[in-house]
Amino acid sequence: MLAAQTATSITLRQGEGRTETILRANIASVTSTGKSMMPEGFEERIAQQEMADLIAFLQSARPATPSGEPPLDIGTEPGLIEP
C-alpha cells in the first residue's frame, strides 16, 4: 500500500508495519489495483449505523494538529530517500 511519496521516492507499507522506500528512478510505472483493503462485499454485510461508527472511529484515529488542520503531505516524513 502506498504510504508516502515525494518527487523522488515512493514509500510502500507492507505487512506487520514494515515500510520500503523506492527511488522513482527505479520505478517503470505506478498503477492502482483498484482493490480495497476491506474484505470483498463488506459494505453489503454491515449495517448502515455500524458503517457510520467504523468511519467515525477511523477518522478519530488520525493524529490531530494544533490548528485542527490536516497535516501537509509534502514528503517530509522521516526515512524517505532524497538525492
What distances in angstroms separate CA 46 from CA 38, 51, 54, one per listed residue? 12, 6, 10
pTM for this prediction: 0.48
| Neighbour-count burial of 9, counting CB atoms closer than 10 A to its CB (0-12 exposed, 13-18 middle, 19+ buried) | buried
Least confident range from 5-9, 21-25, 34-38, 39-43: namely 34-38
- Give residue 25's pLDDT: 93
Residue position matching grid coordinates 472511529? 57
- The whole-angstrom separation of Cα 6 and Cα 9 is 5
- The whole-angstrom separation of Cα 17 and Cα 73 is 20
Per the prediction, the chain carries an average pLDDT of: 78
Between 11 and 68, where is the model more confident? 11
Between 44 and 62, where is the model more confident? 44
